Amino acid sequence: MVESKEINKPSGTLILEGGAMRGIFTAGVLDAFMDRGYYFPQIVAISAGTLQALCYLSRQKERNKRVNLRYANDRRYMGIRHLIRGGDYFNFSFIFGELAENLMPFDKDTFMTASERMLALVTSCDTGKITYISNKGCTWDEYKQACEASCSIPLFSKPVQLGNKLYVDGGVGMPLAPLPEELPFVTKKPVYILTRDKNYRKKHIHKIERALLSMMLGGSYPKINELMATIPERYNEKVEELLQREKEGRAFIIRPEHSVHVSRTERNIHKLRNLYEEGRRIGESRFDEMLRWLCNA
């Protein structure tokens, strides 16, 4: 259902980090925005961030919360069985199929007619370069494939074909989130929703671990192998850069306040619910501050 009261929005771009099941924090923040009838004109999303953005633009408040809490322990939703049988730990056929069509319907009509622009990030298997895929000028079937590609983490998922090329998770080519100068359009007011606290840093991958990772990934996509091995360094560099821009007032960042103990494949409903509630609380408490920052020239 479309919100009955939507407020005017100043220019700004919402940028959503991934994090698989940690995305429930983002769901909480976006539900707080929807409580206020606030929709950013441009949304950029990586990996699981795309799933949160879909329900934000379809105006389906709390849908992502209900999906994760109700289906985290459902064998159809995710599990090693799907990885072995179909090549995907998260069962996208179920997520975008029976779940979205029947069990907890996704309002694709509202999404496809929304005025806001959404860009999903995917990484090319051939070049390792990032591609931004817009929700404008495509069908729902085409765009859900793009979102699936953006969520396809190597080792957890097989590559997804878009057109005649293969793509994987956008976080491989662009760890954490893009800076404004890395976007295909100009924005001076980036608002980030991150799914880790400000002190989190990824551990470096040692030589032996890199060799093992390369062996597990195989030799089909050497660019992806190279990028996977350097994700921690690139992620940590981006964290430091965003922290500096936040201090300088050049970025507005919403993130968990404390260390997050929710894994990518979390099934603990108590942990998931708490992370969602934290996101909703922080989204509500910082909403007015965010609006003031966006309206400041």
Report the pLDDT value the prediction gives residue 205, as an integer from 0 to 100: 76
- What pLDDT is stored for residue 3 in this prediction? 40
Contacts of 1-7 with C-beta under 8 Å, sequence gap 24+, read: 1/59, 1/60, 1/107, 2/59, 2/110, 3/34, 3/37, 3/59, 3/61, 4/37, 5/37, 6/37, 6/38, 6/39, 7/36, 7/37, 7/38
- What is the spatial distance between Cα 25 and Cα 256, in angstroms, rounded to a whole number? 8
* Interval 191-238: pLDDT, tens: 999 999 999 999 987 766 666 667 767 778 889 989 998 999 999 999
Residue with tokens 């909480």: 28
What is d(CA 143, CA 134) in angstroms, rounded to the nearest whole number? 8
Written as six digits, the tokens of 144 are: 């859900």
Name the pLDDT band for 7 (thresholds 50, 70, 90).
low
20-72 confidence digits (pLDDT tens): 999 999 999 999 999 999 999 999 999 999 999 999 999 999 999 999 999 99
First to last CA, the chain: 34
pTM (2 d.p.): 0.93
Q: 282 vs 18, 38, 46, 206, 220, CA distance in Å?
A: 18, 15, 21, 36, 43
* Average pLDDT rounded to a whole number, residues 99-121: 97
Looking at residue 75, its amino acid is: R
- The SS3 assignment for 243 reads helix
| Separation CA 76–CA 110 (nearest Å) | 26
pLDDT of residue 1 exceeding 50, the answer is: no
pLDDT in tens, 168-184: 999 999 999 999 999 99
Please provide the average confidence, as pLDDT, over all residues in the chain: 93
139, amino acid identity = T
Q: State pLDDT tens for residues 270-295.
A: 999 999 999 999 999 999 999 999 99
Q: What does the pLDDT look like over 251-274, one tens digit per residue? A: 999 999 999 999 999 999 999 999
Measured CA to CA, the distance from residue 50 to residue 122 in angstroms comes to 11
Buried b (16+ CB within 10 A) or exposed e, 229-267: bebeebbbebbeebeebeeeeebbbbbbeeebebebebe
